């Protein structure tokens, strides 16, 4: 089964049985493919004595901890076929993941993303406000997670502006002009959760206190990147929605969960506040003690699988996030597949030992 | 000499005062194993044992046991030949590791028994064990006021000014806490005659003779011993074995019995943290990616992760992990583990079997292996530690002909 067989299926139309069959077939093929083409990956599967004839479901396939992509250069293509290298957005001094893409995988990421996002925004392109600064996407060969997100979503924008300048200052005049020009039209807005809060929301509040307001009630805001930094500011999901609505009237706000190691098959939040797995990917929660699959409603470590990665062995990954599967095929929003929530990152281990610990592992 | 009081004021004194620091260069050294020290330590031991909190901490009790008079007198016999006059070098400045509660006390006692004036930086984390021991020291100092100048326990946040000041006073600096702490402290100069003892990042291994193991009746006792060598410190002490090397003719049977026993104990006693399973799987895959023939052995769960290797390479210890992550190697020629022992980071060899079997390896001139001790004893502190003869390094020997 190839990616092209999957791309034409409507992204939330398969029930659990159909999806399991499709994923099992595709992911087994990807496993065999990467085994042939990535020596390190093959060594890892050899270490597990992995035998694909014993696999009944994609849930039986091995998973690689995402941290491996920080330590190793894992790819299943030759260097000359690498068209893009994506990196995770680690803070200074931290190791970053390096994900190598060829033309096919890069293009399939885009195709999957279009299918997923249009299910929420409609298929026509819209004027788009990117709540970030233009310099993030300058280097087109090396992409940070932020840059990749912006470029990924940019295909939904007809006309685009960056709302922030390179000093992360809100471009008030530019924004005003843009909104006047496209008055009455649906407007797509995209950015990273913390950036939106810090550099957009807070600035809008300051402006409003000075008598300047913006009406974004026609906007659709999609944001991702996680809540970690906002938790330290004590801003919850609901608070985020309410406060943004208060300051600019925006009603449609969608969070998404995704990672640079599996770009493309993002998990969008629906109208009911649930993150959804499309047919291009799935989440499995696993018990920390033995990696067995959790029951629905039970918190576990998130494993993600994706049908996209062909250029690197990242089709089955164990993340360092914790979450809960809330249900499958029965979300009131009507989309099939699993829906879930993310609780946050796993805590670093607190261990004893003679060597003083300096936070270097992550 | 007047010291910078701004810097001194940033120090918190658990035992001792800043006045003592101010006049520290005037304090005279004592002789190796001076009687006043032995009496003082014995009193401290009693105070610790009297403290009802001590019962909760086996590490505190072990320490109190070690500083009893009868135990110290034995050490005296072992390390003091009394043929020459040996005096403390002067001021010993100790930086204890931040993550082992009682280590500071062993370092202090090493400095005291060798006749030095001691400034000990205790862990910044507030371990109850630190409080129990410093309380006992303070009580003993009331009884033995002449010892006051010799015992200072202090606490301060990472602060280069304080490191600079105390290093400038030191005749010997003792740095625990591994490579990064050592390189941090090396930025603070010592006096020309001053010495330094550094406890760097180390790793250790275990060698088990399968035939000997199978003959042992009390296998549960062995499991306890091995637990104390490993899981008790999250298998992350310098002394904790990271690899188990099996010799003899009953390797497969021995492994099965050994790990079954160990697993039962770990399941009962060890507190597992969610990220540990992910960490161990990551390390196992890194090792597998690097080296051919690595096998992650079948396991019930993530409490004990065993990774079998076909051969022992120099790089293997780059992929060491902790909290129950073991490499395993079937060994028919002890010299085949030489690549691990060549490295000067290799510290303790814990064993079950006949220690004579290591002689060829040791005399081959490997740069590692400072201790060969039975399993269960890898954590037992001694005045020769980590390859350093502390009584020799912390004293000055006077020639008188």
* Model pLDDT for residues B154-174, shown as the tens digit of each residue: 999 989 999 999 999 999 999
Same domain, B393 and B325: no
Q: Does A234 touch chain B (CB under 8 A)?
A: no
Same domain, B225 and B189: no
Segment 282-321 of chain A within 8 Å of chain B by CB: 288-291, 301, 318, 320
Query: Is residue A280 predicted with pLDDT exceeding 50?
Result: yes
Nearest CB among A40, A291, A352 relative to B236 is that of: A352
Same domain, B194 and B297: no
Residues A300 and A294: their CA atoms lie apart, in Å, by 6
Average pLDDT in the B25-37 region?
96
Q: What integer best gives the mean pLDDT of chain A?
A: 92
Whole-number pLDDT of residue B124 = 87
Whole-number pLDDT of residue A149 = 84
Query: Is residue A359 predicted with pLDDT exceeding 50?
Result: no
Disruptive mutation site among B158, B227, B281 for chain A (greatest number of A CBs within 10 Å): B281
Report the CATH number of the A3-345 domain. 3.40.50.12780
Which residues on chain A are in Cβ contact (under 8 Å) with B179?
355
Triad B144, B119, B12: Cα angle to 5°: 95
**What confidence category does residue A142 fall into, taking pLDDT thresholds of 50, 70 and 90?**
low
Same domain, B223 and B338: yes
Query: Is residue A360 predicted with pLDDT exceeding 80?
Result: no
What does each C-alpha distance from B375 to A322, B104, B141, B205, B240 come to in angstroms?
38, 24, 37, 10, 10
Say what percent of chain B tops pLDDT 70.
100
* Inter-chain touch A64–B285, beta carbons under 8 Å: yes
Beta strands in A79-136 (DSSP E): 84-87, 98-101, 126-131
Average pLDDT in the A79-104 region?
86
Same domain, B209 and B353: yes
ipTM value of the model? 0.93
In the structure encoding, which two tokens stand for residue A186, read together? 């649906």
Which residues on chain B are in Cβ contact (under 8 Å) with A301?
274, 278
Q: Tell me the sheet residues that pair with A302.
A: A285
* Inter-chain touch B238–A354, beta carbons under 8 Å: yes
* Inter-chain touch B296–A353, beta carbons under 8 Å: no
* Inter-chain touch B303–A355, beta carbons under 8 Å: no
Q: Are A337 and A19 in contact (CB under 8 A)?
A: yes
**What confidence category does residue A234 fall into, taking pLDDT thresholds of 50, 70 and 90?**
confident
Whole-number pLDDT of residue A358 = 63
**What confidence category does residue B75 fall into, taking pLDDT thresholds of 50, 70 and 90?**
very high
Same domain, B370 and B267: yes
Whole-number pLDDT of residue A151 = 84
Q: In chain A, which residue's Cα lies nearest the Cα of B279?
A: A65
Which residues on chain A are in Cβ contact (under 8 Å) with B282?
65, 67-68, 71
Average pLDDT in the B372-399 region?
96
Q: In chain A, which residue's Cα lies nearest the Cα of B98?
A: A356
Host domain of residue B41 = 5-199+386-398
Q: What's the pLDDT tens digit per position in B191-216? A: 999 999 999 999 999 999 999 999 99
Which residues on chain A are in Cβ contact (under 8 Å) with B276?
288, 349
* Inter-chain touch A49–B295, beta carbons under 8 Å: yes
Same domain, B145 and B24: yes
Nearest to B374 by CA among B231, B208, B201: B208
What does each C-alpha distance from B219 to B135, B250, B254 come to in angstroms?
39, 15, 10
Where do the structural domains in chain A lie, given as residue ranges? 3-345
Going by the DSSP 8-state scheme, the letter that residue B27 receives in this structure is: P
Which residues on chain A are in Cβ contact (under 8 Å) with B279?
349, 361
Query: Is residue A92 predicted with pLDDT exceeding 80?
Result: no
**CA of B51, closest CA in chain A: separation in Å?**
25
Whole-number pLDDT of residue A139 = 66
* Inter-chain touch B177–A355, beta carbons under 8 Å: yes
Same domain, B194 and B208: no
> Is B381 within a domain?
no
Burial class (CB in 10 A: 0-12, 13-18, 19+), B299: middle
Nearest to B324 by CA among A121, A71, A351, A57: A351
Q: Enter the pTM of the model.
A: 0.92
Query: Is residue B343 predicted with pLDDT exceeding 60?
Result: yes
> Could you tell me which residue, A308 or B314, shows the higher pLDDT?
A308
Candidate from A124-128, A137-141, B371-375 with smallest mean pLDDT: A137-141
For residues A119, A122, A123 and A127, what is the CA-based torsion angle, rounded to 10 degrees?
-130
Query: Is residue A70 predicted with pLDDT exceeding 70?
Result: yes
* Inter-chain touch A351–B176, beta carbons under 8 Å: no
Q: Are B340 and B309 in contact (CB under 8 A)?
A: no
Same domain, B189 and B94: yes
What does each C-alpha distance from B198 to B15, B163, B385 come to in angstroms?
24, 15, 11
B62: domain CATH number is: 3.40.605.10
Nearest CB among A68, A318, A355 relative to B201 is that of: A355
Whole-number pLDDT of residue A362 = 32
Whole-number pLDDT of residue A1 = 87
Say what percent of chain A tops pLDDT 90.
78
Same domain, B189 and B262: no
Same domain, B352 and B226: yes
Q: Does A94 touch chain B (CB under 8 A)?
A: no
Element at B55 (helix H, strand E): none
In the structure encoding, which two tokens stand for residue B323, read together? 């909290």
Average pLDDT in the A21-43 region?
97
Q: How many domains does chain B have?
A: 2
Q: What's the pLDDT tens digit per position in A157-170? A: 999 999 999 889 99
Nearest to A285 by CA among A260, A316, A322, A259: A322
Q: Does A17 touch chain B (CB under 8 A)?
A: no
Q: Does A351 touch chain B (CB under 8 A)?
A: yes
Any residues with CB less than 8 A from the CB of A100 and at least 6 apart, and which? A73, A74, A75, A77, A82, A84, A85, A311, A312
Same domain, B217 and B123: no
Average pLDDT in the B300-327 region?
96
Residues B133 and B130: their CA atoms lie apart, in Å, by 5
Q: What integer best gives the mean pLDDT of chain B?
A: 96
Q: In chain A, which residue's Cα lies nearest the Cα of B309?
A: A47
Whole-number pLDDT of residue A134 = 87
> Is B277 within a domain?
yes
């Amino acid at each position: 089964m190839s990616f092209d067989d999957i791309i034409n299926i409507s992204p939330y139309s398969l029930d659990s049985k159909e999806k399991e069959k499709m994923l099992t077939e595709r992911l087994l093929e990807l496993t065999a493919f990467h085994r042939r083409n990535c020596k390190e990956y093959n060594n890892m599967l050899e270490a597990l004595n992995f035998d694909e004839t014993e696999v009944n479901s994609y849930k039986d396939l091995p998973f690689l901890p995402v941290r491996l992509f920080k330590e190793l250069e894992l790819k299943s293509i030759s260097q000359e076929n690498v068209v893009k290298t994506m990196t995770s957005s680690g803070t200074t001094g931290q190791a970053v993941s390096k994900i190598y893409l060829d033309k096919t995988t890069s293009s399939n990421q885009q195709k999957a993303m279009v299918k997923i996002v249009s299910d929420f925004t409609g298929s026509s392109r819209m004027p788009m406000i990117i709540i970030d600064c233009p310099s993030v996407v300058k280097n087109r060969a090396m992409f940070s997670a932020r840059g990749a997100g912006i470029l990924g979503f940019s295909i939904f924008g007809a006309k685009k502006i960056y709302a922030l300048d390179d000093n992360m200052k809100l471009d008030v005049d530019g924004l005003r002009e843009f909104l006047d020009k496209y008055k009455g039209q649906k407007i797509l807005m995209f950015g990273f959760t913390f950036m939106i809060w810090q550099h957009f929301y807070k600035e809008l509040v300051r402006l409003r206190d000075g008598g300047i307001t913006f009406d974004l009630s026609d906007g659709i805001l999609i944001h991702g990147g996680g809540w970690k930094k906002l938790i330290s500011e004590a801003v919850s999901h609901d608070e985020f929605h309410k406060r943004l609505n208060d300051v600019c009237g925006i009603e449609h706000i969608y969070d998404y969960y995704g990672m640079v190691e599996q770009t493309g098959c993002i998990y969008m939040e629906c109208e009911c506040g649930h993150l959804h797995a499309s047919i291009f990917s799935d989440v499995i929660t696993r018990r920390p003690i033995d990696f067995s699959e959790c029951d629905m409603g039970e918190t576990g470590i998130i494993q993600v699988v994706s049908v996209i990665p062909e250029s690197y062995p990242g089709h089955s990954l164990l993340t360092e996030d914790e979450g809960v599967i809330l249900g499958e095929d029965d979300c009131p929003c009507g989309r099939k597949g699993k829906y879930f929530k993310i609780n946050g990152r796993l805590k670093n281990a607190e261990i004893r030992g003679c060597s003083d610990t300096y936070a270097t592992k992550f | 000499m007047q010291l910078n009081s701004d810097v001194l004021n940033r120090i918190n004194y658990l035992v001792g005062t800043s006045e003592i620091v101010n006049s520290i260069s005037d304090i005279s050294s004592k002789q190796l194993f001076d009687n006043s020290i032995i009496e003082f330590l014995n009193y401290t031991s009693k105070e610790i044992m009297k403290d009802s909190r001590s019962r909760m901490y086996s590490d505190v009790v072990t320490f109190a046991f070690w500083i009893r008079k009868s135990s110290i007198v034995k050490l005296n016999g072992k390390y003091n030949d009394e043929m020459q006059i040996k005096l403390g070098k002067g001021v010993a400045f100790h930086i204890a590791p931040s993550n082992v509660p009682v280590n500071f006390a062993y370092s202090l006692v090493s400095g005291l028994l060798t006749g030095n004036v001691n400034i000990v930086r205790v862990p910044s984390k507030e371990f109850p064990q630190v409080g129990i021991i410093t309380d006992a020291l303070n009580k003993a100092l009331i009884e033995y006021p002449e010892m006051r100048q010799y015992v200072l326990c202090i606490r301060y946040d990472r602060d280069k000014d304080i490191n600079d000041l105390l290093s400038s006073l030191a005749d010997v600096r003792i740095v625990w806490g591994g490579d990064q702490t050592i390189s941090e402290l090396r930025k603070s100069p010592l006096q020309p005659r001053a010495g330094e003892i550094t406890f760097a990042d180390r790793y250790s291994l275990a060698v088990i003779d399968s035939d000997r193991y199978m003959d042992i009746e009390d296998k549960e006792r062995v499991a306890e011993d091995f637990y104390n060598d490993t899981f008790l410190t999250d298998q992350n002490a310098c002394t904790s074995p990271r690899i188990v090397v099996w010799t003899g003719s009953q390797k497969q049977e021995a492994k099965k019995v050994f790990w079954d026993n160990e697993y039962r104990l770990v399941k009962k006693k060890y507190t597992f943290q969610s990220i540990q399973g992910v960490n161990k799987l990551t390390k196992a895959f890194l090792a597998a990616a690097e080296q051919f023939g690595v096998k992650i052995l079948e396991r019930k769960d993530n409490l004990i992760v065993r990774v079998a290797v076909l051969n022992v390479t120099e790089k293997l210890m780059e992929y060491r992990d902790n909290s129950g992550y073991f490499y395993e190697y079937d060994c028919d020629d002890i010299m085949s583990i030489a690549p691990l022992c060549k490295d000067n980071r290799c510290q303790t060899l814990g064993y079950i079997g006949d220690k004579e079997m290591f002689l060829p390896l040791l005399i081959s001139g490997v740069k590692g292996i400072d201790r060969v001790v039975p399993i269960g004893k890898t954590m037992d502190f001694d005045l020769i530690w980590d390859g350093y003869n502390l009584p020799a390094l912390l004293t000055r020997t006077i020639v008188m002909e």
